[in-house]
Chains A and B, each alone.
Chain A
Amino acid sequence: MSDPIPYHSIKVDEKKCIGCVVCMKVCPTKAIRIKEKKAAVNAERCIDCGECYRACPYGAITPLTTKTSDITRFKIKVALPSPVLYSQFGSNIMPDQILNALKAIGFDYVYDESLACEMISIAIEEYLERNKSPRPIISSTCPVVVRLIQRLFPSLVSLIIRMEPPREIAAKNLKKELSKEHKISEQDIGIFHITSCPAKMVSINKPETMEKSYLDGAISIKEIYNQLMAQLKKEEHNFILQTQSQASGIGIGWAISGGEIRGIKQDASVSVSGVHDTIRILSDVESGKIKNIEYLECLICPDGCIGGPLTVENRFLAKSHILKLIRKFGRKNRIDISYVKQLYDKNFFSFERNIQPKPFPPLDPDKNEAIKKLKKKERILKNLPGINCGVCGAPDCESFAEDLVKGEKGLTIGRCVFLGE
């Protein structure tokens, strides 16, 4: 892990990229341009949603997650699987089997993240009760949603719940407990999230709300899948169906959209998933169109984290497996509520520092210049064909006009194939 820390969790493989425009078209923040027949990601605009990775037909977009071989540098290695993992191996394999399999492939400890999810459900309820700040309060679980708000909806940053997501809370707890138990430094304990999205790498490498993340990496479900499958096959005969895992349906439910609000008693909460629906609802919140909602859960992937870009199982089947598990494990809290409240009072769940808005730069830093450019952009746009073909290397005519007025190097209106040189 000596390479420079990546600022983003995806990389374009220039050898495989043929500049086909598919990724550029799906990018929700218009961060991609095709330059010299290759996709180029503008780091300022990228929010790590993984849409380009999903869409690329040539496998040219690579997620930058932690390799399993990287974990060996720690004395104690801990796996912290997202409850999504329980949905990936069919509906007959139980969480306990998966946790055991993780241990068998090289982790010293395995901690079920769904326990932390259940804890956070209780803490969210506490937060909603105690904080009378403007509504709706928005979930901080999905790191992509946090970035989207910082970039596209900076005025909503103050609505984000000032509470760390389950993965960080679990890791914080584990580091403390394991270092006490084994009398070793927290630095010798490596905690790895088993994840459905590359975006976790960004929140680990460049955390927004704390100095340093408690997690040491995120391993892709795709990367670890075959190993786990082999292990599960090998040990299949040793397991009798068991449901004694400590988790409850509340925690496991966090794998799907609506899971977070299912755990809280607030009636006026809403869950939204998918990048376009998330953008739409946030835009409505920004206009004050959304009234009387207490809590808003947004997850960038379709159907929530089970639709994450690094999953293996078909997301509809995965959803069905999770729903089955929720029924099986029930809605009863397994976590001691008074313990969570104690931790809450000690600010155990709170952000160390607030999230900062990071709006996209305006057309020009000088307001008068920006207005001039806005008018120029409108004039250019009138001349462009408006069919958004993408052949110029920008995702649509509006972006092309914007690149032109921003004075993009070497770019002329002649790049439009309909207008010609």
Chain B
Amino acid sequence: MEQETILSEEFEITGGDFINGGMASCRIKNILKEIGIDAEIMRRVAIASYEAEMNVVMYAKKGKMKLILTPHRIVIKVEDEGPGIPDIELAMQPGYSTATPEMREMGFGAGMGLPNIQKNADIFNINSTVGKGTNLQIVINLNNKNV
């Protein structure tokens, strides 16, 4: 199952920093462009990683986003130190959100974050411990032509 890692990069995410929120996913996007990942796949990674990053910015104290590239897939791992999600099934429902009115005012927290990640991922795993934090694993397969 585990494949040889050919690239691994890690980025810090600061909770509450809406100004710089999105920087990590933007860096990932640029890296993928530079190594010639297919545009459609790149866009799915960009969208999923942006949503994941903004979840950390919105709800957690801090977090880390890791990009792992193997010959057949792109893996994004996000770990945060935050409140955790008590009911994952509920959180995965489109439109469900615990965002504050201020966040919504800024256009965040429409409750589409997790469903949107899932929509763009080939495999999506989520683990959360209330009071400790949330771990996401997003896997997007590369086409054959990318191998």
Contact = CB atoms under 8 A, between A and B. Distances in A.
B8 to A, nearest CB: 10
Contacts of A155: 39-40, 42-43, 46
A353 interface: no
Given A287-B26, A367-B146, A371-B7, A362 B33 contact: yes
Given A362-B33, A362-B36, A286 B46 contact: yes
A374 interface: yes
Contact of A288 (B6, B7, B36, B47): B47
A367 B4 CA distance: 14
Contacts of A28: none
Interface string B105-139: 00100101000100000000000000000000000
Contacts of B29: 286-287
A283 interface: yes
A367 B33 CA distance: 11
B46 to A, nearest CB: 5
Contacts of B146: 367
B73 to A, nearest CB: 13
Interface residues of A, number: 23
A291 B6 CA distance: 34
B25 interface: yes
B43 A370 contact: no
Contacts of A357: 39
Interface size bucket, B side? Answer: 20 to 34
Contacts of A244: none
B38 to A, nearest CB: 9
A361 B36 contact: yes
Contacts of B7: 371, 374
A4 interface: no
B33 A291 contact: no
Contact of A362 (B35, B50, B107, B116): B35
A286 B50 CA distance: 10
A361 B34 CA distance: 8
Interface in B18-38: 22, 25-26, 29, 31, 33-36
Contacts of B26: 283, 287
A371 B35 contact: yes
Interface of B: prevailing SS: helix
Contacts of A374: 7, 31, 34-35
Contacts of B33: 359-360, 362
Contacts, number: 60
B76 interface: no
B69 interface: yes
The winner among B25, B35, B42, B69 for most chain A CB atoms within 10 A is: B35
B79 interface: no
A2 interface: no
B46 A288 contact: yes
B80 interface: no
A134 to B, nearest CB: 11
A363 B33 CA distance: 9
Interface in A363-421: 363-365, 367-368, 370-371, 374
Nearest to A402: B34
A365 B34 CA distance: 10
Contacts of A368: 6
Contact of B50 (A157, A289, A359, A365): A289
B35 A288 contact: no
A154 interface: yes
B22 A363 contact: no
B39 A362 contact: no
Nearest to A154: B39
Contacts of A361: 36
Contacts of A283: 26
A367 B6 CA distance: 9
A283 B46 CA distance: 10
Of B25, B33, B40, B112, most buried by chain A (CB within 10 Å of CB) is B33
A374 B43 CA distance: 20
A288 B117 CA distance: 11
B34 A291 contact: no
Contacts of A364: 36
Nearest to A288: B47
Interface string A140-162: 00000000000000111100000
Interface string A264-308: 000000000000000000010011110100000000000000000
Interface of B: 6-7, 22, 25-26, 29, 31, 33-36, 39-40, 42-43, 46-47, 50-51, 69, 107, 110, 112, 116, 146
24 contacts: A154-B39, A155-B39, A155-B46, A157-B39, A283-B26, A287-B22, A287-B46, A287-B47, A287-B50, A288-B46, A288-B50, A291-B107, A291-B110, A359-B33, A362-B34, A362-B35, A363-B34, A367-B6, A367-B35, A370-B34, A370-B35, A371-B6, A371-B7, A371-B35
